[in-house]
C-alpha cells in the first residue's frame, strides 16, 4: 500500500488513482499523518503531493520522523521542495515561474526514468524551485530554466520531481509512477476494485456499528452505487429515501423505484411534486431556484429522517470531483454554481457522514457498479443535476413547462439511443427557453416556445466540448419535438464548450 500525504494539491487523489490503476492500493492522508501511523498501516512507500504552499514562506511540514522510516519516498512539485528542505537543500522563490508543458532532459540511467524516452514532456506549475540539491542527491532531470527538475538519492530511495507525473499532460508520467511503486519500492500489484468493494463494505459496517443510516437515492449513478454498496454492509438498517420532486425525466421516478426495490432495497418513495411546485411559484432567478429546491429537499428529507428511530448516519454518494469542487468553494476560486445536496442535515440532526465513494472518479464508480451487478442501463445513464429539469426551464417552473420539457427530453434521448450515439455522449439535455418565436404550420401562423438541445463530451464535468451529432439524429429529434409538442415551434442546437459556457443553462 502506498500512502500519499496531501499538501493541498488539487491533483492529490489523481496520484492515488494512477497508482490504483497499477493494481496497487493507495490512500490519501493529511500531510501531517504521524510516521507511526504510516508504519502501522503497512505502507511500502510514501508520496508527498504537490500543494499551493511555499517552503520559503509558511511551510506545511510532515512529521520529520517520516524520513526515518526507511521507506522509499517520492516528492512531487511542492512535495519535492519539502523533501529538499528536510534534507537541507535550498529552495527559493525563482524569478522564472514555469506553468504548463515543458520539455525535460532526463537521465535515463535513473531507475525513476527507466524505460522513458526523450523528448520527455511534463506538466509544471510552480513558482519556487530547488536551487541547490541536498547532499547525497543527484540531479536526474532539468529544463532550460530549471536546473533541478528531478533528483534522486538511491541509497535512501528518496526521489523528487518538480513536474506532475499524475496528469495526462505528462504522457510518460504513469511510467515514472510505476517505476517508483514497483521497481523502487518493490510493491506487488494485485489490488483491484473488487478489493475496494470488500474493504468499503467492511469499513462502512464498522463505522455504523449497531446504528442505522439514511441515504437519498435519485436514480443517478452515484447515489445508486452508494446505496447498493451500503445495503450490502447494513441490510435493512439502511433506509433509502427517494424524494420525487416532480422535476425528473419522463417515467424516471417509477423506473428508479422499481429498479432499487428489485435489488432488495426497501426504498421509501415520497411524492413531493406539489410541494416543490408550490415553493417554486414565481421564482425565475437560477440561484434562487437552486436554493429553493435545495432547502425544500432538505426539509422533506429531514421530516422523513426524524421518523426513523435510532438513526446515526447519513450516507452520500460524494465522488472525488465533488470533493475538489467543494474545496475550491472554500478557496479563492468563486462558486460557479451552488450544487444542491443534503448538506446541512448532518450537523442539524447530529448525524455522522458516510461517503463510501469519496476517493473514486466517475468511471471507477461505474466499474464498482458493474461489480455490484447494477443494471448497465442505469450505470450508463448521463449525469442529471439534483435540481432536475428546473435548471433547464429558463423561467418560472410550472407543471406544464415540466411536462413539455419531459417530452422533448425523452424524444432527444430516444433518438440518441436509436442513432447509436447515446454512449458516445457524456451528457445530453433539452432546455426550454423563455422566448417565443413565430412559425407556420399548415396554413396557420404559430407563435410558440423554443427548445435548445445540448450534447457534450467530458471527463468529469469540469470542462466539456459540444458534440457534432449526426445530422439525421438532430433532424429526427427536431421534427418529432415540433410535431408532437404543441407549445414548441422551434428547435436550436447549442455549439458552446465549457468554458466559457457551463453544461447546464442555469
Ligand atoms: P455545469 O452546468 O456547472 O455542470 O457545467 C457540471 C455538471 O454538474 C451537473 N450539475 C449539477 N449537479 N446539482 C447537481 O447534482 C446541481 O445543482 C448541478 N448543477 C449542475 C451538470 O448536470 C453537469 O453534469
Q: Using CA positions, which residue lies closest to atom 9 of ligand 1?
A: 385
In this structure, of 110-119, 348-357, 391-400, 433-442, the range with the lowest mean pLDDT score is 348-357
Q: Using CA positions, which residue lies closest to atom 12 of ligand 1?
A: 385
> Ligand 1 center to residue 247 CA distance, Å?
14
Q: Using CA positions, which residue lies closest to atom 18 of ligand 1?
A: 385
Question: Do strands 158-161 and 73-76 pair parallel, antiparallel, or not at all (unpaired)?
Answer: parallel
Q: Using CA positions, which residue lies closest to atom 10 of ligand 1?
A: 385
CA–CA dist 161, 506 (Å, integer): 41
pLDDT of residue 365: 92
CA–CA dist 253, 251 (Å, integer): 6
Pocket test for ligand 1, best of 385, 386, 390, 502 (most atoms within 8 A of CB): 385
Name 284's Cβ contacts closer than 8 Å, sequence gap at least 6.
395, 396
Torsional sign, CA 328, 17, 359, 337: positive
3-state secondary structure 413-440: HHHHHHCCCHHHCCEEEEEEEEEEEEEE
> Ligand 1 center to residue 39 CA distance, Å?
40
Percentage of the chain modeled with pLDDT above 70: 94
Q: Using CA positions, which residue lies closest to atom 17 of ligand 1?
A: 339
Between 10 and 200, residue with greater pLDDT: 200
> Ligand 1 center to residue 183 CA distance, Å?
41
92 flagged as catalytic: no
Cβ(337) – ligand 1 distance below 6 Å: yes
Cβ(503) – ligand 1 distance below 6 Å: yes
Contact 223, 364 (CB under 8 A): no
Alpha carbon of 498 to those of 81, 100, 118, 160, 460: distances in Å?
34, 20, 33, 34, 12
DSSP 8-state class, residue 499: T
User: Average per-residue pLDDT in the chain?
Assistant: 91
Cβ(461) – ligand 1 distance below 6 Å: yes
Cβ(275) – ligand 1 distance below 6 Å: no
Contact 134, 85 (CB under 8 A): no
Cβ(427) – ligand 1 distance below 6 Å: yes
Q: Is 241 exposed, middle or buried (0-12, 13-18, 19+ CB in 10 A)?
A: buried
From the CA of 290, give the closest atom in ligand 1. 17
Cβ(290) – ligand 1 distance below 6 Å: yes
Pocket test for ligand 1, best of 216, 317, 339 (most atoms within 8 A of CB): 339
| List 116, 126, 152, 164, catalytic entry | 164
Cβ(291) – ligand 1 distance below 6 Å: no
Question: Do strands 90-106 and 138-142 pair parallel, antiparallel, or not at all (unpaired)?
Answer: antiparallel
| List 77, 116, 215, 292, catalytic entry | 77
Cβ(355) – ligand 1 distance below 6 Å: no
Per this entry, what is the length of the chain? 506
Cis peptide before 445 (omega within 30 of 0): no
Band of residue 10 on the pLDDT scale cut at 50, 70, 90: confident
Contact 296, 277 (CB under 8 A): no
Band of residue 165 on the pLDDT scale cut at 50, 70, 90: very high
Which of 289, 213, 306 minimizes the C-alpha distance to 245? 289
DSSP 8-state class, residue 339: P
Band of residue 159 on the pLDDT scale cut at 50, 70, 90: very high
224 annotated to bind ligand: yes
Band of residue 408 on the pLDDT scale cut at 50, 70, 90: very high
pLDDT of residue 485: 97
pLDDT in tens, 209-221: 999 999 999 988 9
CA–CA dist 296, 242 (Å, integer): 14
> Ligand 1 center to residue 277 CA distance, Å?
21
pLDDT in tens, 18-33: 999 999 988 888 899 9
221 annotated to bind ligand: yes
338 annotated to bind ligand: no
Which of 1, 3, 71, 73 minimizes the C-alpha distance to 32? 3
386 annotated to bind ligand: no
CA 473 to chain centre: 30
> Ligand 1 center to residue 505 CA distance, Å?
10
Pocket test for ligand 1, best of 384, 504, 505 (most atoms within 8 A of CB): 504
Name 195's Cβ contacts closer than 8 Å, sequence gap at least 6.
25
> Ligand 1 center to residue 320 CA distance, Å?
15
The beta strand positions in 18-89, using DSSP E, are: 26-30, 45-48, 73-76
> Ligand 1 center to residue 504 CA distance, Å?
6
pLDDT in tens, 291-341: 999 999 999 999 999 999 899 999 999 887 666 555 433 332 333 444 545
444 flagged as catalytic: no
**For the whole model, what pTM was predicted?**
0.77
Return the bridge partners of 427, or none: 456
Cell of 309: 428511530
CA–CA dist 18, 50 (Å, integer): 15
118 flagged as catalytic: no
pLDDT in tens, 225-272: 999 999 999 999 999 999 999 999 999 989 989 999 999 999 999 999
From the CA of 294, give the closest atom in ligand 1. 17
CB atoms within 10 A of CB 417: 12
Question: Do strands 238-244 and 352-354 pair parallel, antiparallel, or not at all (unpaired)?
Answer: unpaired
Amino acid at each position: 500500500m502506498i500512502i500519499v500525504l496531501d499538501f493541498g494539491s488539487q491533483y492529490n487523489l489523481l496520484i492515488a488513482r494512477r497508482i490504483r490503476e497499477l493494481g496497487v492500493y493507495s490512500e490519501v492522508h493529511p500531510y501531517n499523518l504521524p510516521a507511526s501511523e504510516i508504519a502501522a498501516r503497512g505502507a511500502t512507500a510514501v508520496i508527498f503531493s504537490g500543494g499551493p504552499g511555499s517552503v520559503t514562506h509558511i511551510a506545511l511540514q510532515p512529521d520529520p520522523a517520516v524520513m526515518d522510516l526507511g521507506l522509499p519516498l517520492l516528492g512531487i512539485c511542492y512535495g519535492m521542495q519539502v523533501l529538499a528542505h528536510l534534507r537541507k537543500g535550498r529552495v527559493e522563490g525563482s524569478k522564472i515561474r514555469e506553468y504548463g508543458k515543458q520539455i525535460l532532459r532526463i537521465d535515463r540511467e535513473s531507475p525513476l526514468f527507466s524505460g522513458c524516452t526523450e523528448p520527455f514532456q511534463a506538466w509544471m506549475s510552480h513558482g519556487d524551485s530547488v536551487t541547490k540539491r541536498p547532499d547525497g542527491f543527484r540531479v536526474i532531470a532539468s529544463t532550460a530554466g530549471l536546473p533541478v527538475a528531478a533528483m534522486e538519492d538511491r541509497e535512501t530511495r528518496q526521489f523528487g520531481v518538480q513536474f506532475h507525473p499524475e496528469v495526462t499532460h505528462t504522457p510518460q508520467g504513469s511510467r515514472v509512477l510505476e517505476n517508483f511503486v514497483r521497481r523502487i519500492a518493490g510493491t506487488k500489484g494485485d489490488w483491484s476494485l473488487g478489493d475496494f468493494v470488500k474493504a468499503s463494505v467492511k469499513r462502512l459496517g464498522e463505522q455504523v456499528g449497531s446504528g442505522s443510516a439514511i441515504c437519498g437515492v435519485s436514480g443517478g449513478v452515484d447515489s445508486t452505487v452508494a446505496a447498493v454498496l451500503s445495503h450490502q454492509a447494513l441490510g435493512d438498517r439502511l433506509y433509502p429515501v427517494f424524494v420525487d420532486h416532480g422535476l425528473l425525466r419522463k417515467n424516471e421516478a417509477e423506473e428508479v423505484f422499481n429498479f432499487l426495490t428489485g435489488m432488495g432495497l426497501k426504498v421509501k418513495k415520497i411524492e413531493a411534486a406539489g410541494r416543490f411546485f408550490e415553493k417554486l411559484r414565481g421564482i425565475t432567478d437560477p440561484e434562487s431556484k437552486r436554493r429553493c429546491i435545495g432547502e425544500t429537499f432538505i426539509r422533506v428529507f429531514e421530516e422523513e429522517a426524524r421518523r426513523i428511530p435510532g438513526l446515526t448516519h447519513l450516507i452520500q454518494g460524494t465522488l472525488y470531483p465533488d470533493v475538489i469542487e467543494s474545496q475550491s468553494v472554500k478557496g479563492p476560486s468563486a462558486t460557479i454554481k451552488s450544487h444542491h445536496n443534503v448538506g446541512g442535515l448532518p450537523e442539524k440532526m447530529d448525524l455522522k457522514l458516510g461517503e463510501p465513494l469519496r476517493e473514486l472518479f466517475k468511471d471507477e464508480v461505474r466499474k464498482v457498479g458493474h461489480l455490484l451487478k447494477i443494471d448497465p442501463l442505469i450505470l450508463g445513464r448521463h449525469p442529471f443535476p439534483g435540481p432536475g429539469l428546473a435548471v433547464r426551464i429558463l423561467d418560472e417552473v410550472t407543471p406544464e413547462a415540466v411536462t413539455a420539457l419531459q417530452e422533448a427530453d425523452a424524444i432527444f434521448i430516444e433518438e440518441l439511443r436509436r442513432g447509436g450515439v447515446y454512449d458516445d455522449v457524456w451528457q445530453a439535455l433539452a432546455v426550454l427557453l423563455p422566448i417565443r418565436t413565430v412559425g407556420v404550420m399548415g396554413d396557420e401562423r404559430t407563435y410558440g416556445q423554443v427548445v435548445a438541445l445540448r450534447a457534450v463530451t467530458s471527463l468529469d464535468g469540469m470542462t466539456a466540448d459540444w458534440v457534432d451529432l449526426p445530422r439525421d439524429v438532430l433532424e429526427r429529434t427536431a421534427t418529432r419535438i415540433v410535431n408532437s409538442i404543441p407549445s414548441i415551434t422551434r428547435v436550436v442546437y447549442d455549439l458552446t464548450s465549457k468554458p466559457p459556457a457551463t453544461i447546464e443553462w442555469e
